[in-house]
Amino acid sequence: MRYLTFALAKGRLAEQTMDLLERIGMPCEEMKEKSRKLIFVNEDLKLKIFLAKTSDVPTYVEHGAADIGVVGKDTIMEENRNIYEMLDLGLGKCRMCVAGLPEMKDKIHKCHSLRVATKYPNIAREYFYHQMHQTVEIIKLNGSVELAPIVGLSDCIVDIVESGATLKENGLVVFEEICPLSARIVVNRVSMKMERERIIDVMDKIRGLLKEDLK
Ligand code: PRP
């Protein structure tokens, strides 16, 4: 039997995913120990689990270096890889939004060259160009995007809103919701054919747990 390989997005989501995997009989204790190790092998179950930078998870899955990936919908949309999105885990629920200073709320669609700061240039471009049919200037940032409208770098931002605390504490408001987000299981297209039974079995077990948790 070949190894079934999982790529998990490092951080809180990986920890929550490990809890789920443990509950379906895939031990992850070794991974939970604080260390710099990135890949874990379970010889008995013929499993490999590795931790990757969030934005790289779809890449590993597309190329077949991982059969299965667990990653946020935001990353799936931004990376736009040729992978199969199989299951919504309902973890890490949040929203992709357009936000900014309250005085800009009614002006953003009237601006001729709206400056949009974001960590998600592809999602922002898709939204403004293709859904709003509006020409905008995308300014790519790598974090603390909420700063951009405050210091005059942009007219608005496209970013994740979870609790809304970061916006509120910085005097910003949501203008529009682009889409809801949550963690998803993605699968390599070839693995889906070659390892169909094992993958379906894992999905069914996880689906069962999610249903149980809802009760
Ligand atoms: C994310 C996101 C927002 C914030 C939203 O940033 O980009 O800034 O969390 O969460 P909230 O609505 O609960 O306040 P992250 O913490 O990943 O840091 P970063 O901005 O440095 O990327």
pLDDT by residue (tens digit) across 175-201?
Answer: 999 999 999 999 999 999 999 999 999
**Helix, strand, or coil here: 180?**
strand
Q: Is 156 found in the same domain as 189?
A: no
Whether residues 13 and 118 share a domain: the answer is no
Q: Identity (one letter) of the amino acid at 106?
A: D
Taking the C-alpha atoms of residue 98 and residue 173, their distance in angstroms, rounded to an integer, is 9
Q: Does the beta carbon of 161 sit less than 6 angstroms from any atom of ligand 1?
A: yes
Q: What average pLDDT does this structure show over 129-144?
A: 96
Cα–Cα distance, 125 to 141 (Å, whole number): 14
Region 85-109: what's the mean pLDDT?
Answer: 96
Find the 204 Cα to ligand 1 centroid distance in Å.
Answer: 32
At 68, which helix (H) or strand (E)?
A: strand 68-72
Task: Based on the fold, state whether residues 112 and 51 are members of the same structural domain.
Answer: no
Domain count, the chain: 2
Q: Are residues 12 and 76 in the same domain?
A: yes
**pLDDT classification of 79: cutoffs 50, 70, 90:** very high
Give the structural domain span for 8.
4-92+182-214
Same domain, 27 and 43: yes
Tell me if 147 CB under 6 Å of ligand 1. no
List alpha helices for the chain, DSSP H. 12-23, 29-32, 57-62, 73-79, 121-125, 147-150, 165-169, 189-194, 196-214
User: Is the domain of 146 the same as that of 81?
Assistant: no
C-alpha 143/C-alpha 141 separation (Å) is: 6
pTM above 0.85, yes or no: yes
75 and 41, same domain (yes or no):
yes
> So what's the pLDDT on residue 82?
98
- Which range is least confidently modeled, 37-41, 59-63, 170-174? 37-41
Q: Do residues 72 and 175 share a domain? A: no
Kindly tell me if the per-residue pLDDT of 29 is higher than 90: no
State which of 160, 174, 177 you would mutate to test the pocket of ligand 1, scoring each by most atoms of that ligand within 8 A of its C-beta: 160
The finding on whether 181 has its CB within 6 A of some atom of ligand 1 is no
Taking the centre of ligand 1 as the mean of its atom positions, its distance from the CA of residue 77, in whole angstroms, is 17
Domain containing 112 — which CATH number? 3.40.190.10
- 4-9 vs 68-72, strand pairing mode: parallel
Whether residues 50 and 98 fall in one domain:
no
